[in-house]
Structure 1
Amino acid sequence: MQTCSFNRFRLLAFLFVVGTTLMVYYLLPRILLHNVTSSGPSQGLNMANIKQLTINLTVEKNQKPGLSEIFYRESLPPEKDGESLKPNLEVLLLHGQAFNSKTWEGLGTLNLLAQQGHRTVAVDLPGFGNTPHLEIGKVDKDRADFLLAFLNAVGLQTPVLVSPSMSGHFSIPFLMFQNQRLKGFIPIAPVGTNHYSAKQYQKIQTPTLIVFGELDTNLGLQSLKNLKHLPHHTVFKIPAARHACYLDEPDKFHKALLDFLTKF
């Protein structure tokens, strides 16, 4: 009986030690990570709040103005000592066919840019996310006019425009017709680049970072072929990444994005 009780005691002691070791193993790194985060550069700053907003946008078609609801997400630089900080830059994030503004929130891009001191707006384009389908016209100038109306409605003066894939239907015409409203342009394998000639691209003076994934041999290479005619461009190819390269390699994309923004 004594031997049985002793063995049971040893077993319980062993399980206690194992349990304590596992708790330390799993919890300690999280505690250390929290301490490092709390004592890093963001100390004294509130985390940037991501706001979800809807505006009524006046869209003119055939000379008849009409109100349309446009949904967007916005992040602002965090407050310091209770005061709002003036944004360094403005950034406008568009999205691809299978995505919407929430993609940039989930990826951490909205919060990252706010922490770097930028005002960032991510919009749900017509027919995507929380924005209903809108009759804004089917020609390039109509889509450029829509984007211009959105910028004016939310108070974006000269943003850096980030445009992946499908959103090229809006961003490329905007680059052609309203490039004076852009501080910079970051196309990510956008559609519609073949609608314009090399001569037209060569007239654009907007600083541009052309981004595409190494494995995107369709739109990635096609858009590069056309966009490289922009006189002030650099190219960033993300290794082993597909068409939505910013999702495959978010850290590499974010680093390239932030590096580009430091040039302004």
Structure 2
Amino acid sequence: PDVLFLHGQAFTSKTWEALGTLALLAGEGYRAVAIDLPGYGDSPPVEMVVTAQGRRTFLDHVLQELGMQRPVLVSPSMSGRFALPFLLAHGDQLAGFVPIAPVGTKDYTAEQYREVQTPTLILYGDRDTRLAPQALQNLQHLPEHRVAVLSGAGHACYLDKPEDFHQALLGFLRQLK
């Protein structure tokens, strides 16, 4: 299965490279790809992403370009603005969803979340007291979810505790097979 990594506001696709995440997953037989969102890293800004529908379409294009069929989508922080509209509209096109304290979860209702059948790993650091609890409160309405808390980790929990993060992610990916 394919795994697509988005990134938070202070980061780019290189974050996942530097952490060794992409190499680790490749070694486990996954096709792991990290992209720069528009206006970050090497990606120029694009007009279409100012709306939720535009961001959803953008992700759709990315998956088509990469030839990814039913990937697992990993979405930290700011990238929730891309991942959530996609999940709610096209959740059936994802094999799994890994939200890491994403923004924008309160833009949707419990009913909307309840309709999504995508297996989800809600992942966050226990020191993230701002975004994580809010995201958990909303995302727990996803019927197929489980939760992994990284102890001693902040908002960018994958940077604070990379080994714990990798373990949780791999555990989730393995049980999707």
State TM-score, norm by structure 1: 0.66
Q: Counterparts of 1:122 and 1:166 in 2: how far apart (Å)?
A: 15
Match in the other structure for 1:118: 30
Tell me the secondary structure at the aligned position of residue 221 of structure 1.
Answer: helix
Which 4+ residue blocks in structure 1 deviate beyond 3 angstroms? none
Q: Counterparts of 2:172 and 2:66 in 1: how far apart (Å)?
A: 24
Match in the other structure for 1:201: 113
Q: Counterparts of 1:137 and 1:224 in 2: how far apart (Å)?
A: 25
Verify the 8 A CA contact 1:143 1:169 in the aligned structure 2. yes
Match in the other structure for 2:169: 257
**Is 1:215 the counterpart of 2:123 in the alignment?**
no
Tell me the secondary structure at the aligned position of residue 121 of structure 1.
Answer: strand
> Which structure would you say has the larger Rg?
1
- Asked which structure has the greater RCO (Cα within 8 Å, sep 6+), the reply is 2
Distance of aligned partners of 1:137 and 1:239 in 2 relative to their CA distance in 1, 3 Å threshold: closer
Shift of 1:141: 1.2
Bigger shift: residues 110-119 or 139-148: 139-148
Alignment of 1:7-18 (within 5 A): none
Q: Counterparts of 2:64 and 2:49 in 1: how far apart (Å)?
A: 19
| CA shift digits 1:189-210 (9 cap, x unpaired) | 0001000000000000000000
Tell me the secondary structure at the aligned position of residue 113 of structure 1.
Answer: helix
Match in the other structure for 2:155: 243
Compute the RMSD of aligned alpha carbons: 0.6
Q: Counterparts of 1:242 and 1:132 in 2: how far apart (Å)?
A: 29
Alignment of 1:106-145 (within 5 A): 106-145=18-57
Verify the 8 A CA contact 1:141 1:177 in the aligned structure 2. no
| CA shift digits 1:208-249 (9 cap, x unpaired) | 000011011110100000000000100011111100000000
Letter aligned with residue 105 of structure 1: E
Letter aligned with residue 157 of structure 2: C
Tell me the secondary structure at the aligned position of residue 262 of structure 1.
Answer: helix
Match in the other structure for 2:139: 227
Letter aligned with residue 223 of structure 1: A
Q: Which has the higher helix share?
A: 2
Letter aligned with residue 155 of structure 1: G
Match in the other structure for 1:184: 96
Shift of 1:137: 4.1
Verify the 8 A CA contact 1:172 1:192 in the aligned structure 2. yes
Verify the 8 A CA contact 2:49 2:58 in the aligned structure 1. no
Match in the other structure for 1:162: 74
Aligned length, in residue pairs: 176
Q: Determine which of 36, 53, 58 is the counterpart of 1:146.
A: 58
Task: State the percentage of identical aligned residues.
Answer: 56
Match in the other structure for 1:95: 7
Verify the 8 A CA contact 1:176 1:204 in the aligned structure 2. yes
State TM-score, norm by structure 2: 0.98
Q: Counterparts of 2:94 and 2:34 in 1: how far apart (Å)?
A: 16
Letter aligned with residue 27 of structure 2: Q
Structure 1's unaligned 5+ residue stretches are 1-88
Q: Counterparts of 1:179 and 1:220 in 2: how far apart (Å)?
A: 21
